[in-house]
Amino acid sequence: MPYDFISVDNKDPMNAKILVEKAGPVTTIIINRPEVRNALDLEATRLLGEAFEAFEQDPDAKVAVLWGAGGAFCAGADLKELASGAVYEPWAGSAQGPLRRPLSKPVIAAVAGHACAGGLGLALWCDLRVAEAGARFAVLSRRWGVPMSDGTTVRLPRLIGMSHALDMLLTARQVDAARAEQIGLVNRVVPDGQARHEAEALAARIAAFPQIAMLSDRQSVYEQDGQPLDDAIAREAALSIRARELEAEQGARQFAAGAGRHGAVS
C-alpha cells in the first residue's frame, strides 16, 4: 500500500519523519526516525499531531495503529535538540499538544524495542498496546532531569496503579513486556517482529464491529473516570441511546438467525 500522507520531503517519502499508510479502515501512522530510536524533535511532533488530526477527520478511517520504524517505538523527545535550547511545549498540557486528549476513534500502539519517557507517554495515550516480547517501557529521562509533560504521571497510575507507577517514575526501572502485561501496561505480547502485523489485525477486527455501539462504550469508559457512580451510569445510558436505536435491533436479529454464536466474531 503506498503512503497516503507524507511529510517533510515529498520527493523522497521514505525519508519523511512521519509516514501514514492506509489499508481499508485501518490507518498506520509511522514514526520514521530510526537513527535516533524514533525520538521526536519539534518538527516530528508537529507532523505527528497533524497525522492524528487527519486520521480523526477521515470518515473512512476507523482505527489507527501507531508504530516506530527500525525496531524501536519511540525514545521520547529529542534531547539533542532540547540541549540546543529548543523550547518544547508539553505534549499533553498545551493547547496544541498531540497528546492533550484521546481521539474520537481507537488508536493501538504497536511497540517494539523501547518506549521511553515521552515514548512511554505516547503508548499510554493510545487505547491499547501490543508489545513485542523484547519491548521495554521506562522513564529513562529521569537520569537527565527531564520531567514528564506528556500525560505519563496522570495516565500511568490510572492504568497500572499508583505503586507500580511510582516505581517506574522514581527509579527509572525498565519494565519488560511480560511484566508490563502482568501489571496491565500492555494488553497483548507477541513475538519479536510481529507488533505491527498483530496490531493491524486487531485494528481490522475492531473496525469490523458495529461502530456506533463500540464508540459509545469507549466514550463512556473515558468519561466515567472520576465521576460518581450514579452519574457515570446515567451517562452510559445516554451514550447508548443511538446504538440501541440504530444497531442493537439489527444485531439481535442477526444473533437470532444464528450469526456470531459460541463466541464467533464475524
- Would you list the domain boundaries of the chain? 3-208, 211-263
Q: Is 133 helix (H, G, I), strand (E, B) or coil?
A: coil
Q: E-assigned strands of the chain?
A: 3-6, 18-23, 26-31, 63-68, 107-111, 114-116, 128-132, 136-138, 175-176, 188-190
Q: Name every residue whose Cβ is closer than 8 Å to that of residue 31 and which is 6 or more positions away in sequence.
A: 17, 18, 38, 40, 44, 48, 66, 67, 68, 69, 73, 74
pLDDT digit string, tens, across residues 4-35: 544 444 456 667 999 999 999 999 999 999 99
Distance between CA 221 and CA 232 in Å, rounded? 9
- Note the pTM of the prediction, 2 decimals: 0.90
Q: Name every residue whose Cβ is closer than 8 Å to that of residue 241 and which is 6 or more positions away in sequence.
A: none
Q: Is 116 helix (H, G, I), strand (E, B) or coil?
A: strand
pLDDT digit string, tens, across residues 155-175: 999 999 999 999 999 999 999
* Side-chain half-sphere exposure of 189, counting CA atoms within 13 A: 16
Torsion on CA atoms 50, 53, 55, 57, rounded to nearest 10: -140
Lowest-confidence segment of 5-19, 34-48, 85-99 by average pLDDT: 5-19
Residues 255, 259, 261, CA angle at the centre, nearest 5°? 85
Q: Name every residue whose Cβ is closer than 8 Å to that of residue 252 and which is 6 or more positions away in sequence.
A: none
The CATH number of the domain covering residues in 3-208: 3.90.226.10
Residues 71, 74, 78, CA angle at the centre, nearest 5°? 125
Confidence of residue 92 (pLDDT cuts 50, 70, 90): confident
* Side-chain half-sphere exposure of 16, counting CA atoms within 13 A: 22
Lowest-confidence segment of 42-56, 97-111, 135-149, 238-252 by average pLDDT: 238-252
